[in-house]
Structure 1
């Protein structure tokens, strides 16, 4: 005849923890720990959650004050302040890449001096861009092309019709265009950009996503005809440097800063975010006490801000090809393949 052990005094729970290998809590300890998810009443659960959240906030503020006091004390004593904790991100823990550009890389500067974009970037040639579409246009395609023309100076649009792309390339060469942009569509929506450098290439194929037109941006601004300032961020590798110079060759190298226009290509984790802004300078009265001049008139201060003009979209490099567009005999500099995405911390641009 066997006897069963009762679990009233917590002995059964201890035996269960020995078998499972997990840390055990007796009944008294479990009663002291109250989790919001254990409370069935909604109002009580909300109060407990709010209390715990407030306690965490107070504890965080105490840590910040203690850190600031330690830094202040170290500065007063002439000592080095305690090292700040830097959070680990995917960007600052990226895998080491041998192709990252160095300031003393003579081979890189030699390649830059001999590349296809050098005449435009040295202002020997004025950039002139031809924009066209694939054979089947989309609903938002014309609006997107119109906004691209407002972003890129010296750009013209021509209907594709039934012409082959190679014939369009030859036509653009004869008309002294320096670049050709083809807007590709799928299911009546722009989904890719093909940018061809003329007359000798290269050809870059980008996947296009997250397109937001100007009319869909809240409180958007209308761009002027001034030549924009160009900002390129985080193109750190040799491939990224080449792609950045490709974008740079689309724009004149003499920005008109009076127009306060800024075009940004920001690379983050190999996604290139495009944004178009204007600087706005608002003049406001300084409401601080004692901010009046000798005449008793309130002082004014200038507050700068950015106003988005649109469009905004995201690009992802798919291929980079030597020379102009050639699907059969073209030689590719770089091709993105699924097997290359082995790590979230491996980037190519």
Structure 2
């Protein structure tokens, strides 16, 4: 008799456990804290089981929503946009509309206005820090193929303050200086002539043409330019500074495009050739190089390390207080 009572009690307890766990799993109630289980193997088994059950519930809910949406047809509620860091960014007072009259007035009088009024044609000098290594020079040569009307100068024992007056005398509109550290390019300085501004970028994730899979050599056609997400006043200035490097009239026949894509204040540089397939699809081929830029400072006028006046300086510990706050 006692044996039968023990057996029935065991079954009853087992059924109670099942009845307590199943509704919790179906209703989305948080699972009990498994960290209190001392046996590691048992703890991992329960964790995997809970994870599998959660995944099954998500798939079931997704199929149910899809079925309901199909039944409702046009009356179905719109699909919710996923929450990302970009669409949850902290509000920035300097966000502007390109058609704003005040912005248009300021841009009509800034240092790049002569370019956008087609009074000047870009002429760029690319140089390096003193005595550059081979990787830096290869990067300069490939960057030259991306930007039309560009000349590369091997720098050796000549101060940048002496280069700027010579470039002004020879009608250069911009200077690009590639800085390196431990034989690797780590910085890019962009100086607009004759009156500035000067932008300093940190350069990372550089891949030359040979390091990119299925890359190809670009043609001599003038590329198209794409600038994405430069939405603040600072972003507008940086975008106009970059745009002034490229020709007014690209050669669309060459199907080359250079992209500067700003995402979370990181500017991704890409160089592609595109082709239309069957009139609907578009194929892309990377031409290289590709790299990432991060703005460190924006200085008024041409480069001056001692007496230069800075419009904006990146101060990491003071500015990076939130992952959802961006400046470009």
Q: 8 Å contact 1:203–1:322 — kept in the other structure?
A: yes
Q: Which of 270, 280, 287 is the aligned partner of 1:309?
A: 287
Q: What is the aligned partner in structure 1 of residue 106 from structure 2?
A: 111
Q: 8 Å contact 2:98–2:104 — kept in the other structure?
A: no
Count matched residues. Answer: 298
Q: What is the aligned partner in structure 1 of residue 65 from structure 2?
A: 67
Q: Secondary structure at the match of 1:182?
A: strand
TM-score with structure 2 length normalisation?
0.82
Q: Structure 1 residue 140 and structure 2 residue 119: aligned?
A: no
Q: Structure 1 residue 99 and structure 2 residue 78: aligned?
A: no
Unaligned 5+ residue runs, structure 2? 1-13, 22-30
TM-score with structure 1 length normalisation?
0.78
Distance change (3 Å), C-alpha of 1:152 and 1:29? same
In 1: Cα distance, 2:125 partner to 2:17 partner: 74
In 1: Cα distance, 2:167 partner to 2:99 partner: 38
Q: What is the aligned partner in structure 2 of residue 233 from structure 1?
A: 228
Q: Deviation at 1:90?
A: 1.2
In 1: Cα distance, 2:55 partner to 2:16 partner: 28
Q: Which of 319, 322, 325 is the aligned partner of 1:343?
A: 322
Q: 8 Å contact 1:136–1:185 — kept in the other structure?
A: no
Q: 8 Å contact 2:274–2:284 — kept in the other structure?
A: yes
Q: 8 Å contact 1:194–1:203 — kept in the other structure?
A: yes
Q: 8 Å contact 1:150–1:225 — kept in the other structure?
A: yes
User: What does 1:166-245 align with in structure 2 at a 5 Å threshold?
Assistant: 166-245=161-240
Q: What is the aligned partner in structure 2 of residue 290 from structure 1?
A: none
User: What does 1:5-154 align with in structure 2 at a 5 Å threshold?
Assistant: 29=17, 53=52, 59-75=57-73, 79=75, 81-103=76-98, 105-154=100-149
In 1: Cα distance, 2:163 partner to 2:313 partner: 24
Over the aligned positions, Cα root-mean-square deviation in angstroms equals: 2.9
Distance change (3 Å), C-alpha of 1:269 and 1:28? same
Q: 8 Å contact 2:96–2:231 — kept in the other structure?
A: yes
Distance change (3 Å), C-alpha of 1:49 and 1:242? same
Describe the superposition over 1:231-267 as per-residue Cα deviations: whole angstroms up to 9, x where unpaired: 1111110000110011000000211111111111011
Q: Structure 1 residue 252 and structure 2 residue 252: aligned?
A: no
The structure whose residues are more often helix, as a share, is 2
